[in-house]
Amino acid sequence: MKLSSKARPCPAELGQVTVTDAFFAPFIEKIRTVTVPDVLKKFLADGAVENYRRVAQGESGGHAGPPWYHGLICEVIRGMCDLAAYSHDPTMLDPLSDVIDAIARAQREDGWLHPYDTLMRPDQVWGLCGGNARWQHETYDCGCLIEAGVHHYRATGKTSLLACSVKCANYLADHIGPPPKWNISTEHSIAESALLSLDALFDAEPELAEALGAKRGDYRRLALFFIDSKGNNTNRHQFPAFLQEYAQDHRPAREQREAVGHAVRATLFYAGMAEAAAATDDAELSEAASAIWRDIAETKLHINGSVGAHRDDERFGQQYDLPNDAYLETCAGVGLIFFADAMFRLTGEASVWNTAESTIVNLLPAAVSEDGVHYTYENPLESRGGQERWSWHGCPCCPPMLLKAVGELPSYLFSSAGNRIWMNLYIDADANLGDASVSLTSADGGKTLTVRTPCETTVFIRIPDWAHGFTLSLPYEIEKGYAAVRIPAGETAIGIRYTAEPVKITAHPWVGADHGRIAVKAGPVLYCCEKAVEKWEDLDPVLTEDPPIRQSDGTLTVQTVDGGALRLIEYRRWNNAGALPMRIWFRQGGLRTDPRDLTGWDGRLYREWLGTEA
């Protein structure tokens, strides 16, 4: 079910949020002050910006890095801009001046900019004449430039990069669309969302659009064309003409109901579908996006919040195909977060955040080392000791996506629309929401949400699926998974009480990899066992039915039937002590999985195991 456009929640502005959470406040600051400089330094050393200078000088050949380096640099810019807006520290953007100047100098007068094609394949643009669009990433790179310009403008008020975005978007709008324009499909989605964000910016600031020569309306039409071109392979102006499931090109978007193909391309495409549905009140797109979201949440989401089970084509598998040695690219998890944000703004459903919370709480922190300068590409649920974070990679796509997700994270915590406020995530923070303000703080046995508002307001507090004994200090009704509380004008403190003790979790009986096994979570936080063992089997004992015990150092202990015990650490902290074996799913004594018994599993992929006596 989608909301009407007037009722849709609007995320908090980044500059109006301050995260105070004991875990996430220092995590965001580490990303801002340590990871950002490291990522930018490594891209510069890798020659990514030098590509622009070579294009501007009319050179040929010698492109540094893969074809999507242009897009990755632009994603770094977007992430940096959001972190600067959040922290009110414009000085962190000083290193971008030379980068943006290089981009502007390299851009053709007609708006085209794709360093790889210009230097390496000038006669093979869009994959034609012996090229390959699947590899060349033209629409992806253009989309990243467009979104970088929007975020740079929002953070700084400057139009230096936004002007490049407009020229690029105008070029695409002039050449791509229904006949006689080119029929081009996004080989790697992101342009759909980027064009919609540019359209929204100019709807809000029409004078800015006029000053930059923007073609208002064309950007939304092009985003919808990209969405509706999926599955329409007639007279494609690109090669390969048929991108298949790999790029969600197997059937028209409005007929799609299942997450398929390359998981990063997929999640970004589905986010664009949901955003377009919200922007245009398109019921068909809303139905398709909602069905795909349910397919992921109920059948294809690993317990650590990751998606994309298979290494070949970095793709989704079939329903309930969730191997523990899965591929699970960091970028795909970030794409899922963006999809979740779009689905929440479309539907207002708390279940969206119940699903994406695991990705935010577990996957994002696990994607970067505690020292802030080593990264993961894959995020498996078990490792035999061969997994270790890298300082840099031949395809360093995950660090820029990490910066984007962390940069945007504070805006997800609270949303508002008129006299309604939503509290989405249990991350302590303060925020101004127009005339109202909110503050979420930790308290014994729960949280306290303090709301200051000039008029009667309805506050929607998400009821987490992991919270036991959830109660509020004020009366409430349940609406779309939220506790809806009516409060008067003035200041109101709402006590939120619950327990989040460590529990054992089982997977749906059709997840063959986890038959007879449990995982351990405390609230949304996932745990694992990481330690040196003589042989892999030593990390797979059978557990007793005793509940996990929390230790004073924050670790958990589970008992084994042979009289031993396993020490569990937070999954988001694993792989910081070297390449040690690690496991999340453990054999559980007394647990018998029957794939024929689906009692209580309707719409659920994971649930708490209460033992054989329950």
213-242 as b/e: b if 16+ CB within 10 A: ebbeebbbebbbbbbbbbbeeeebbbbbee
- For residue 343, the number of C-alpha atoms closer than 13 Å in the C-beta half-sphere is 30
Residue 229 has pLDDT above 60, yes or no: yes
In the chain, the amino acid numbered 359 is T
Q: What is the pLDDT averaged over residues 146-169? A: 98
Q: What is the mean pLDDT of the chain?
A: 96
**Are 281 and 266 in contact, with CB atoms under 8 Å apart?**
no
Q: pLDDT value at position 443?
A: 85
pLDDT digits (tens, 9 = 90+) for 355-379: 999 999 999 999 999 999 999 999 9
pLDDT digits (tens, 9 = 90+) for 425-443: 999 999 999 999 999 999 8
> What does the angle CA 579 – CA 580 – CA 583 come to, to the nearest 5 degrees?
125
Q: How confident is the model at residue 517 (pLDDT cuts 50, 70, 90)?
A: very high
In the chain, the amino acid numbered 58 is G
Q: pLDDT value at position 372?
A: 98
pLDDT digits (tens, 9 = 90+) for 452-474: 999 999 999 999 999 999 999 99
Q: How confident is the model at residue 7 (pLDDT cuts 50, 70, 90)?
A: confident
Q: pLDDT value at position 19?
A: 98
Residue 551 has pLDDT above 90, yes or no: yes
Residue 4 has pLDDT above 80, yes or no: no
Report how far residue 481's alpha carbon sits from residue 349's, in angstroms, rounded to the nearest whole number: 7
Q: pLDDT value at position 5?
A: 57
pLDDT digits (tens, 9 = 90+) for 250-285: 999 999 999 999 999 999 999 999 999 999 999 999
Question: Residue 175 belongs to what H/E stretch?
Answer: helix 160-175
Residue 415 has pLDDT above 70, yes or no: yes
pLDDT digits (tens, 9 = 90+) for 46-70: 999 999 999 999 999 999 999 999 9
CB-count exposure of residue 527 (10 Å: 0-12, 13-18, 19+): buried
Report how far residue 492's alpha carbon sits from residue 474's, in angstroms, rounded to the nearest whole number: 10
Q: pLDDT value at position 386?
A: 87
pTM of the predicted model, to two decimals? 0.97
Task: Show the domains of the chain with their CATH numbers.
Answer: 46-243 (no CATH), 420-499 (2.60.420), 502-608 (no CATH)
Report how far residue 45's alpha carbon sits from residue 613's, in angstroms, rounded to the nearest whole number: 60
**Could you give the percent of the chain with pLDDT greater than 70?**
99
